[in-house]
Each structure stands twice: as C-alpha cells, then as structure tokens.
Homo-oligomer: A and B are copies of this chain.
Amino acid sequence: MVITPSSPSPQRPLDKESIRLVAKAEKVDPTVLARHVGGGSVVIMRRGDRCVGIGRGLRIKVNVNIGTSNVRSVPHEEVKKAVVAEHCGADTISDLSMGRDVEETRRLIFSHTSVPITTVPVYQAAAEQGIEGMDARDILDTVRRQAREGVSSMVVHCITRDILEACRREGRVLGLVSKGGSITAAFMLHHGCQNPFIEHFQEILGIMRSCGIVLSLGNSVRSGCIGDGWDQAQDEELHTNLALAEEAHRAGVQVIIEGAGGHIRYDRIASTIRRYRDASRFPLFVAGPLPTDIALGLDHIAGCVGASAAGAAGADYLCCITPAEHLGLPTPAQVREGLLAWRIAAHIGDLARLGLDMQDRKMAEKRALMDRKGQISLALDPEAARTSGADEETCTMCGDFCALRLMRRYLKGPR
C-alpha cells in the first residue's frame, strides 16, 4: 500500500468526484449512491483525494482508535500504531490523544497516514484546560482548530440532563462508561450548564459544513456490562441523536449516529441494531459490542463475535477493540490484532448483508486445487496466514489422508 500523506488543511465540501470515487471503489451505481448521500443514508469521509463511503449498500468500514493518555503519552508509539492500522487495512483512524502536546501528536499522525482522521474535540479541550478550567468557548475553539488541521470527522457527545438522570435512575451496575460522554457530563455538572454541543449546535454545524467534516453523534450511555441492558437512557439518547442528526442533515452536514456499543448479550445484539435501523436512516457506527464481560485480554475475539452480529444486522461502521481493552493502551501489535479481528467481522457482515463472496469463492477454488501459495495470497491478512502456517511448504494436518487427495484418487472429484 502506497501512502501519500496529505499535509493538514481543511476538507473541501463534498463534490461529484468524491461520489464517483466511492461508487467505483464499492462497485455501486453512482446515481444511487448520490441519492443515498443526498438522503443521509451514506456519508463520505474525505482526506485529500481519499474518499471513504459509509452507509447503506456499501461495505462495512472499520475504524481504529489510537492516541496518548495523560498517564501514558509517547507520541511516536501512537504514530507506530497509526502506521500499523493503515498498513493492516483500517478504513479510518480516530486520534483520541489526551497526553502531552495533543496537536503535535496529531501532526505526526497526519504526516504518517493517508486515511481519514477522526477526533473527539472535548478530549483535547479537557486535556489542555481541564474539565473545571474549560468553558464552552474553549470547546468550540478546539472544534475550530481541529477543523483547520483537516480532520475528516468529529465526535460530539450530546448527553442531556434528562439522559443523565435516566441513566442514574436505572441503577446500572456500571453507570456511564463512555469517556467523551462522562467528560461532557462532568463539565455540565461542574459548571451547572447544559450540554455545550447542543447549546452551540448551529455554530458546530457551521464549522462542519464549511470544512466538509462528517459529524458523529456519540454513544454516551452505552452499556458497560451485559447486565446493564437497553434502558430509558439509551432510548432517550437514540431519539436525541436522531433529532440532532435530522437538524444536521437539513443544514447540509453529513452525519453518523453512534450506538449499540458497549456490552450486549449476544441474543440481544440484532434486536438492538434493529432499534436503530428502524428509527434512523443515518449510517450507524458501533463500538463493540462485547457479548460477554469476562473475555479480559481476549476482548478482540469476543468483540469480533459482537461486531459480526452487529454488521450482519445492519451496522455500517465498526470501531475495533484490542486485546488490551479494559487493561490499558494497546501496543502496536495489539492494534493489529484488534484490527484484523474487526476486518474479519466486517467481512462476515458484508457476506451476510450484501453477499460479497468474491474473495471467498476464489479461496475455495485455490483450496480445491490445493494451491497453498494461492490460498495465502488470498487470505484476509496474508501475513497472519504465513505466520500461522509456520512457513511450512505443505499442510501437515492430514498428509496422505487429506480428504481432497482421497477424493481425487478414489472419488474422481471435480478436480
């Protein structure tokens, strides 16, 4: 993959060329795609000449979270993660840095990548001024600064006093587990104010529109454990986000709704996705969901199960989780592990939802021919295939008793 980093600069407004590029990449009719973009069921995230379509009728996309924290701030490690993510097929990267010199960290990430970058402005504002030190103007200034840097998408958490109250009333075991949601809520509670993103929504829409940025409405009240099921708080958030999404759409801003993330029992994932799908035509961004709480250290595998179910049921855009989830910031190798698990989930969802089985068909043909190299080259991640195969020349599993060999010899199989 050749990476042509684009230097930070604001995005252009959406144009016909972006639609043409996405239609070509996705092998869909550009007229239909343009209609979906116009109607809000597809967004196109752009960075320079790179266009990533997300939503109705398109392949499921995968986002990778990276970024420093205030207890571990090593910018070059985050750059390494960004490079690994792009190399291993991430469609987008979210820089969630909250450590030292957030802007310099992001500048480095920009200069080493070419995929669209998403930010959560309240993170940077809180990191720089503190929840108690910042005011609504600081938050809006951060939105403007990040827009000028050329980010492709921004997440804002539109939690309200009512949603917060509903969340408390439910007696959740784990309350609020969204970082952006809790920072925003803490800001509201400390300053005794309403949600700054809702209060200044028109101003935010103006920035998004003029810079061609996709607005992502965060999932503040996702459940933190499978015991905390769907509740009034989640219902209110869905409807608040939906109303704001309509407002954004009317204002000419591309918008994504984030939901159905967190921890959800497996048998409830599809119905949770359907709640969103039935209520909203906007692209659905899902972080997780984890169908169990106990896969600590292996949450990328449990998460792959949840993400596959979510994708098959209608999620458009999946945010991957690494083996370090619930434990700490991931290493670059863990970012790779998480991303590969999510690319599997996205593909499983694409197969189930769109029947996109071309590569599977080719793989099956190579298997029928017992073409080992051909299989490795068609693997979702050839490097993983090579590593797991221990560089052996032939399969050692069945030897002379390989079913395919026996079939050729005795059953006069198709090959």
A residues in contact (CB < 8 Å) with B: 69-72, 98, 123, 126-127, 131, 164, 168, 171-179, 181-183, 185-186, 189-190, 224-228, 265-267, 291-298, 300-302, 304-305, 308-309, 312, 323-324, 326-329, 331, 334, 340-341, 344-345, 347-349, 351-353, 357, 359-361, 363-365, 367-368, 375-376, 378-381, 383-390, 392, 394-404, 406-407, 409-411, 413-414
Contacts and interface: CB of A to CB of B under 8 A. Distances in A.
A328 B150 CA distance: 47
Contact of A302 (B298, B334, B344, B401): B344
Contacts of A379: 294-297
A299 to B, nearest CB: 8
B403 A181 contact: yes
Contacts of A404: 174-175, 177
Q: What 10 A-B pairs have minimum CB-CB distances, sorted nearest first? A: A225-B364, A297-B385, A71-B399, A297-B388, A297-B384, A327-B389, A296-B379, A267-B352, A186-B410, A182-B403
A390 B298 CA distance: 13
A329 B397 contact: yes
B367 A189 contact: no
A320 to B, nearest CB: 12
B329 A396 contact: yes
B341 A409 contact: no
Contacts of A327: 385, 388-390, 392, 395, 397
Contacts of A388: 296-298, 323-324, 327, 334
A360 to B, nearest CB: 4
B401 A70 contact: yes
B266 A352 contact: yes
Given A295-B379, A340-B298, A404-B174, A392 B328 contact: yes
A72 B291 contact: no
A351 B385 contact: no
Contact of A414 (B126, B171, B329): B171
Given A182-B401, A292-B351, A323-B388, 9 more contacts: A69-B398, A174-B368, A224-B364, A226-B360, A267-B351, A292-B344, A292-B348, A292-B360, A296-B388
A182 B71 contact: no
Contacts of A402: 179
A349 B70 CA distance: 38
Contact of A296 (B226, B302, B361, B376): B376
Given A265-B352, A291-B308, A352-B266, A403 B177 contact: yes
A295 B98 CA distance: 35
A202 B185 CA distance: 71
Given A308-B305, A407-B176, A227 B364 contact: yes
Given A296-B385, A304-B305, A411 B175 contact: yes
B401 A359 contact: no
Contacts of A164: 411
